[in-house]
Structure formats: structure tokens, C-alpha cells
Structure 1
Amino acid sequence: MTRNRNALVLGATGGIGGEVARRLKARGWTVRALHRDAARVAAGNRGQTGFTWLQGDAMRSEDVVAAARGVSLIVHAVNPPGYRNWGELVLPMLDSTLAAARETGARILLPGTVYNYGPDAFPDVDETSPQHPVTRKGAIRVEMERRLRVAATSGEAKVLIVRAGDFFGPEAANNWFSQGLVKPGRPVTAVTAPGMRGIGHQWAYLPDVAETMVQLVEREESLEALSTFHMNGHWDGDGTRMIEVIRRVVGQPDLKVRAFPWWLLGLASPFVPLFRELQEMRYLWETPVHMNNARLLAVLGTEPHTPLDEAVRTTLVGLGCLAERSPSPALLTPS
């Protein structure tokens, strides 16, 4: 039986959800997007042309089940805005998606993170590495994957998880590049460095992540009931490569580099949820974390990969940090 090409995207107004949805649409998929204010978002036309916007709440399983009828894929890319109420909202939203997958037989696509892992899994992390998180958010991510694993191994759902490093890109939402290294909407006059020289760091360009996910989705015959993959993305071996590329792209080889004010996050974190979440992730900047993509390469042959200079330039233009406009990159396929 031919698999239908209908998808439901939860979180289509966000960074990864929106990017995956646009790429699915460009490949001929019919894309539905659930939103609590569907009419307003549809009227705003925020780059999601051609989507069918459905009114509903990801917290209500009946809304997600109704929206998912007739689809073969549910993209679960929905998160509470600004990291607020993560503990209260994230798992119920996932349970809504699981209920829809059980009823429809659709595969769930979850954008994964490195938060699942603690220092005992570093520096080289693959899909089988132990998951002993050291943060509250990491513990929630582990529980999310546990629920998905139970559903997949019991035959109740099919699951695809793709993990990558720190996102950056012109449409990326909360991320270290736009909230740590540079200031959106302003010319780049300095770069703030969260890490230390000599400590490697894993980056992931959002369009590459989305392209990888879509290519995997379209290889359904190669996927198991529970399939998990890691992306190599852009590896910054000594923690200075990203800064040097920013300098090169903005044409300022002597651009000032400042240390990230971790002390300030510590003082403000009790009052600002975003600062609290960033503070929790400090350990990922204090030790190298490198992701092994051998399993991904075995399926795709090659990983979608935009050259770093091009990715950084597109990101800075999209953030309003570069005045000149570059042509939007075409949807990428591996060369």
C-alpha cells in the first residue's frame, strides 16, 4: 500500500517545526498545522503559504486526534514559548501526539536534543550512549523519549527521533547563536563567547536539520518502529571556529570577543525563566560534546551540509545583523 503524503505539524510557527513544514510542502506533501489562533496565523502568512491551519490546542488530545486523521506523519515540534511552564506542559502535549498516533498509525517525528545526556556520555555520543541528564529539562526530554519508546516497542506507534547540536539559522527560535553570540537586529560589533578556547562544541544549521528529517521521513522503508539518528552538523573543534567565521562573514577580522556573563545569568535566573534554562545548560560549554552520525550515513549516504560561511551569513542576514541581502538558499540536497 502506498503511504500517503499528508502531515500534521505541531509547532509550525516555531523554528524547526516551520522549517520542516516548508520542506515537506516543497516536496509535495499536504501540510496541516495546528494552532490555538489558527485564523490569525493564517492571515499573517508568516512564510507558511499553502498550509492548512486548524484551530486547536496541543494540550487537548481530542484536538490533535481530530487534526491527525488521514495523515501518515505527525511532526511534534511544539514547545512552551520562552521556556515557561516546561514541566507542566511538555509531557501532556506529547501524550496528545501519542494518542493521535495510536489512532491514525502515523509516524511521530521528534526533534531531539543533547540535553538527554550527562557528562558520563561525553565526549563522543552516539544513539546508544547512556542517558543520565543533569538538568531538569534533560530529565523531561528523557521521559519524553521513554514514552515514545514504550509506544514503539509495544506496536502502538512509530517514532523517528533526530538529535543535533545547538541550532542556529535565520528562522531558529531560542538558541545560543542569537541569544548569546550576537544581538539580533543590530550590526555585529562584538561576539560573546559562552565557551572556552580548546573546548569543542556541536552546532547544527536549522535548514540542514530539517532537510535531514524530511529525507529520513521519505525513507520509511528503511526505518524501524523506533529509529533514532544523530547529526554531525558543524563541529567546532576548539571552540573558536564559529567566532572566526562570524568575523570573516562580517568583514571584521579583529572583531572584539567578550566572555559570556555566566555570573549575571546566575543572579537573574530566579526571575527570568530563559536565563534559568541557559544557566542549566552551562555544562555543555565546559566539555566537548561530539555526536556520531554513522547510523545516519548508513541510511542517507551523506548528511545535508551547508558550508559554514554560507550558513552564518544567511543567519546573520535573517537576524537583521547584516544590512546586505543575500539570495535565500535553495532547498538543499546532498551533493
Structure 2
Amino acid sequence: MMEQNRTALVLGATGGIGGGIAKALCRHGWQVRGLARDLAAARNRGPAHVEWFEGDAMRGADVIRAAQGVSVIVHAVNPPGYRDWDRLVLPMIDNTIAAARAAGGARIVLPGTIYNFDPAKTPVISETSRQHPKSRKGTIRVELEERLRLAAPEVPSLILRAGDFFGPGMRASWFAQAMVSAGNPLKRIINPARGAGHSWAYLPDLAETFARLLDLPERLKPFEMLQFEGIYDADGQQMIRAIRNAAERRLPVYGFPWWLISLVAPFGGFPREAAEIAPYWKHPIRLDNSRLTGLLGNEPHTSPEIAVRNSLAALGCLEARAVLPAPQEQ
């Protein structure tokens, strides 16, 4: 692999996690490319300093063309609205693997999920934890990661697993779409949790972690699987307290209508997809970042109070008075 080549293709660069990683890589001196169906829209709303290629992640030839000469491909694309995972997820990773192979063995970088695990049996996830998914989505994610494992070492890969994403630029999230109402002043909080112990990943910290890891390619295994601890809400109330502190008043808290989701889940669409991940809001899951901190020394970490305040300001729920500091080491 061309380890000294610092050119990366970010698939999904117009999205939350992909855009965050693209920005972090640019800060670290990488030349970053993006793939978009609508170039004008991508240039208008996507990260600055990205070289855009017209194409679709579902078309293998488009991905191969955009990946020519890169050393890293960030695979941060998912089906929109939680739909069509069984039809889209695996063909997209196959296209990425083919493009990485055609580029001479570019490293594939994947933001991992916790759906690969049974939350009732795996309260702590490490790189050695057994993957036994309980949902269709989880089964697909396991197969996706297995394809990356089988492609190594010819095509090396880095999986960094994290909890629920939130942060500036992350609008497709439980934080932005369920807990608060984006674009509106805070009046109440919807709490999806049905128990204590939930893992959150603040996007700027997670993106910075990806960039720091890619600055150390010689230390990564051909198939590297790491966990990002992020913010662990041990009592299920830490995020509630942080939102209330940001609002500077005691907002009322309501439970998420899981009963309604279960009732309409048989009709498909978002309710069916959401019902599948309901157990991850019931059982505690923490991510063991021992291997990650062994590589980096420390995990980039922003305090929950600052992370939540900045996220709410970016969503238009607060006055834009919070200034995002550079991620700090814990």
C-alpha cells in the first residue's frame, strides 16, 4: 500500500460522519476527494477543500474512477432513512473493496456500529467480543465487516466502532431527530433510553480520532478493529442534564413512544427499522477503547457539556454563542 500517499476518497462526504472525517483529514494535511451525484449541491453544502467527482457509490465504475491514486477510502455511506439495507449495503462495500484493490491496496476506513452485537449479552464491546447480531441490520453489518476481513491483507482496513453519533453537522441522528427538534427553541426533551448505560460519539472527537489513526499507518494491523469509547451515559441522565444546562432551565422530559413504533413496525419503513434497534436503548453497552488508547495514547475527548451545547447551537436550538474548541485529550 502507498503509505506515504496522503490522498483520501471519502464516500459520504456530504453526510454527517463522512463530512466530519473529511474536514479532520483536511486539517491533518490530506488531499481529500468526494463522490457526489449532484456536484453543484456537494460544492455548496459539502466540506471545503474537497475535490469532487461526479458519481454514485452504487456504481462500481464511478468509485474506481474517483479512487485512482488514493491510499485511503473512507466508506461512510449508508442507505438514507434506515431503508433498503438488505439491497444496498453489501453492494456498496463490494464496490469500495474493488476500488481499493484497483488503487493498489488502498486502506478502507469504516465507521462501525454496535448493531453487530446482542446488547443483552455484550455490555462491553472490545475487538475480541463475539458478534452475534439480533437484527437484520446487525446481520448485514457482520457480513460487511467479514468481507473486509477476507479482503485483507491485499486490501487493509480500519474499523472504528462507536455509539450513537451527535454533533455539529450530524442531523441524521437520534439526538437531532428524537431528543430535540432541530431548528426550534428547546421546549422539551424526548428520551429514547429505556434503561441506564448508553454510548454516544461526539462527531468532532470521532473524526479527529480517525485522522490521528491514519497518521500512523505503520502501527495499524491489516485488519484493524477498534472501539471509540466516547461519552458513556452511565445513569441514562447525563445527556438530559447537559441539555438542561445548555437551555439554562429545567425542561420537561418525555419518553420516546416505543409502544407506537412496535405497533406500526409490521408495516415497514422507519418504524420497522427503529423497532429493530430498540434493544440498544434498553440494555447498557460500553465500548472498550484499550487498543485505541494503546495506539494514540489518549482518545480525543470533549466534555459532554460543551459537546451538547455546541450540538444544540449548530441545530438552531440555542443562540450561536458556543465556540467549538479543538478536541482535547482525556
Checking the alignment, whether the CA contact within 8 Å between 2:3 and 2:217 is kept in structure 1 is: no
Checking the alignment, whether the CA contact within 8 Å between 2:113 and 2:162 is kept in structure 1 is: yes
Partner of 2:170: 172
C-alpha deviations, 1:133-170, integer Å up to 9, x for none?
Answer: 11111111001000000001xx3200000001111112
Checking the alignment, whether the CA contact within 8 Å between 1:35 and 1:56 is kept in structure 2 is: yes
The reply on whether 1:259 has 2:260 as its aligned counterpart is no
Q: Distance in 1 between matches of 2:157 and 2:52?
A: 24
The Cα RMSD (Å) is 1.6
1:20-169 to 2 correspondences below 5 Å: 20-42=21-43, 44=44, 46-104=45-103, 105-119=105-119, 121-152=121-152, 155-169=153-167
Alignment partner of 2:170: what SS? Answer: coil
Alignment partner of 1:269: what SS? Answer: helix
Q: Distance in 1 between matches of 2:211 and 2:270?
A: 30
C-alpha deviations, 1:6-38, integer Å up to 9, x for none?
Answer: 010100011110000011112211111011122
Q: Which amino acid aligns with 1:163?
A: R
C-alpha deviations, 1:289-310, integer Å up to 9, x for none?
Answer: 1111111010000000001100
Q: Which amino acid aligns with 1:332?
A: P
Alignment partner of 1:203: what SS? Answer: strand
Checking the alignment, whether the CA contact within 8 Å between 1:133 and 1:139 is kept in structure 2 is: yes
Please report how far the alpha carbon of residue 191 of structure 1 lies from its aligned counterpart in structure 2 after TM superposition: 0.9
TM-score, length-scaled by structure 2: 0.95
Please report how far the alpha carbon of residue 47 of structure 1 lies from its aligned counterpart in structure 2 after TM superposition: 4.6
Partner of 1:332: 327
The reply on whether 1:268 has 2:267 as its aligned counterpart is no
The counterpart of 1:224, out of the listed 221, 226, 240, is 221
Please report how far the alpha carbon of residue 121 of structure 1 lies from its aligned counterpart in structure 2 after TM superposition: 4.0
**Is there any run of 5+ residues in structure 1 with no aligned partner, and where?**
none
Q: Distance in 1 between matches of 2:120 and 2:261?
A: 25
Partner of 2:236: 239
Q: Which amino acid aligns with 2:206?
A: V
Partner of 1:290: 286
Q: Distance in 2 between matches of 1:133 and 1:2?
A: 34
Please report how far the alpha carbon of residue 334 of structure 1 lies from its aligned counterpart in structure 2 after TM superposition: 2.8
C-alpha deviations, 1:198-231, integer Å up to 9, x for none?
Answer: x211111011111111111111010010011101
Partner of 1:207: 204
Please report how far the alpha carbon of residue 271 of structure 1 lies from its aligned counterpart in structure 2 after TM superposition: 4.6
Q: Distance in 1 between matches of 2:170 and 2:143?
A: 25
Checking the alignment, whether the CA contact within 8 Å between 2:166 and 2:202 is kept in structure 1 is: yes
Partner of 1:185: 183
Q: Distance in 1 between matches of 2:327 and 2:288?
A: 22
Checking the alignment, whether the CA contact within 8 Å between 2:302 and 2:328 is kept in structure 1 is: no
Alignment partner of 2:300: what SS? Answer: coil
Please report how far the alpha carbon of residue 81 of structure 1 lies from its aligned counterpart in structure 2 after TM superposition: 1.4
Please report how far the alpha carbon of residue 325 of structure 1 lies from its aligned counterpart in structure 2 after TM superposition: 3.0
Q: Distance in 1 between matches of 2:49 and 2:268?
A: 37
Q: Which amino acid aligns with 1:178?
A: A
Checking the alignment, whether the CA contact within 8 Å between 2:161 and 2:226 is kept in structure 1 is: yes
Please report how far the alpha carbon of residue 260 of structure 1 lies from its aligned counterpart in structure 2 after TM superposition: 1.1
The counterpart of 2:297, out of the listed 276, 301, 307, is 301
Please report how far the alpha carbon of residue 193 of structure 1 lies from its aligned counterpart in structure 2 after TM superposition: 1.3
Checking the alignment, whether the CA contact within 8 Å between 1:162 and 1:228 is kept in structure 2 is: yes
Alignment partner of 1:263: what SS? Answer: helix
**Is there any run of 5+ residues in structure 2 with no aligned partner, and where?**
none
Checking the alignment, whether the CA contact within 8 Å between 2:242 and 2:305 is kept in structure 1 is: yes
Please report how far the alpha carbon of residue 330 of structure 1 lies from its aligned counterpart in structure 2 after TM superposition: 4.1
Alignment partner of 2:22: what SS? Answer: helix
Alignment partner of 1:211: what SS? Answer: helix
Checking the alignment, whether the CA contact within 8 Å between 1:33 and 1:51 is kept in structure 2 is: yes
Q: Distance in 1 between matches of 2:315 and 2:220?
A: 36
Q: Which amino acid aligns with 1:282?
A: A
TM-score, length-scaled by structure 1: 0.94
Checking the alignment, whether the CA contact within 8 Å between 2:34 and 2:51 is kept in structure 1 is: yes
Q: Distance in 2 between matches of 1:145 and 1:263?
A: 32
Q: Distance in 1 between matches of 2:91 and 2:275?
A: 25
Q: Which amino acid aligns with 1:51?
A: V
Q: Distance in 1 between matches of 2:120 and 2:198?
A: 17
Checking the alignment, whether the CA contact within 8 Å between 2:3 and 2:71 is kept in structure 1 is: no
Q: Which amino acid aligns with 1:75?
A: V
C-alpha deviations, 1:83-134, integer Å up to 9, x for none?
Answer: 2211111110100000011121110000000000013642111111111111
Checking the alignment, whether the CA contact within 8 Å between 2:35 and 2:57 is kept in structure 1 is: yes
Please report how far the alpha carbon of residue 2 of structure 1 lies from its aligned counterpart in structure 2 after TM superposition: 5.9
Checking the alignment, whether the CA contact within 8 Å between 2:119 and 2:284 is kept in structure 1 is: no
Partner of 1:280: 276
